[in-house]
Amino acid sequence: MRSIGRLGILGAMEIEVITLRHLMDQPNVFTHAGKTFYEGKVEGQPVVLSKADVGKVNAAVTAQILIDQGKVDAIVFTGVAGALDPQLAIHDLIVATAAQYHDVDVTVFGYQPGQVPRMPTLFATDPELSLELVSACATAGVKNPHQGVILSGDTFIAEPQIRMKLFRRFSAVAVEMEGAAVAQTCYLNSIPFALLRAVSDCANGTAPDDFRSFSKKAAETAAEVIAILCRRMASTGQ
């Protein structure tokens, strides 16, 4: 794969980044806008890692700091999501083909559902980085991770009717609360973006309980794939 000098790695919650932070030996730490950034190496790959906190604004702010102050060349987001597609099960891995907002609606002026004016409807993920994620999943023992559109919005979805509405309206596989905001930030800065999520719940009535039970293990699985990605980048990038 093409060489990426410094990889930005983002998660929203502590459980999504802790595995990777433990792999960093004596990182350089800086803070900005209440966010903490860890500069160093994961499996030999230079990275800057941060926890964005939950939601679109936190995600976009943290991504922009990663780009401006962390000087990263690409960003990969790791974490958990609620499944929309009934074919998905808890702990399944998803490599996003694109990220899209589900809570943006300017359709009265002719824009597509989810489309911010003057922005694309969907933010395509970087094909090469995404392919590397698929290969990293295989190395982790997951031969065929799901691939498809992942939705983002500032709501934890926990109702079967809303889940099915989103699934039908956007033909998306999963829903979370940050990916599209980071994708838009990378789009505006012309840097590659990739998005990996593990299913923690099915965005239905049992989603809050399922999230409590399964998000930690799901987040660890996704982070382990990112560590494999870093190892591959370090070995091919020199």
Q: What are phi and psi of 186, to 5 degrees?
A: -65, -40
156, 189, 231, 234: which one contacts ligand ADE (CB under 6 A)? 156
What φ, ψ does residue 35 adopt, rounded to 5°?
Answer: -105, 145
- Of the ranges 40-48, 115-123, 199-207, 221-229, which one interacts with ligand ADE (CB under 6 A)? 199-207
Which span (37-45, 55-63, 66-74, 76-84) binds ligand ADE, by CB under 6 A?
A: 76-84
Q: Residue 59: name the closest of 35, 30, 84 by CA.
A: 35
* Residue from the set 8, 11, 70, 82 that interacts with ligand ADE by CB under 6 A: 82
Counting every residue, how long is the chain?
238
From 140, 150, 157, 219, residue interacting with ligand ADE (rule: CB under 6 A): 157
Strands (E), 102-225: 123-124, 146-152, 174-176, 193-201
Answer for which of 15, 61, 177, 186 binds ligand ADE (CB under 6 A) is 177
The residue from 85, 176, 201, 224 that is catalytic is 201
Residue 224 annotated among the catalytic residues of the structure: no
Beta strand residue intervals within the chain, DSSP E: 7-11, 28-32, 35-42, 45-51, 74-83, 93-101, 123-124, 146-152, 174-176, 193-201
- Size, binding site for ligand ADE by CB under 6 A: 14
CA angle 10–122–124, rounded 5-degree value: 60
| Residue number with CB closer to ligand ADE (46 or 179) | 179
**CA nearest to 17, candidates 39, 43, 41, 50:** 50
Both structure tokens of 233: 């980048």
If one asks whether residue 198 binds ligand ADE (CB under 6 A), the answer comes out as: no
Write the CB contacts of 36 (distance below 8 Å, at least 6 apart in sequence).
Answer: 29, 30, 50, 51
Based on the shown chain and the rule CB under 6 A, indicate whether residue 227 belongs to the binding site for ligand ADE: no
Q: Per rule CB under 6 A, is residue 230 in the interface with ligand ADE?
A: no
Q: Which is nearer to ligand ADE, 123 or 211 (CB)?
A: 211
Is 201 a residue that touches ligand ADE (CB under 6 A)? Answer: yes
Assess whether 201 carries a catalytic annotation: yes
Site for ligand ADE, rule CB under 6 A: 80-82, 156-158, 175-177, 200-201, 203, 207, 211
Residues marked as catalytic? 16, 201
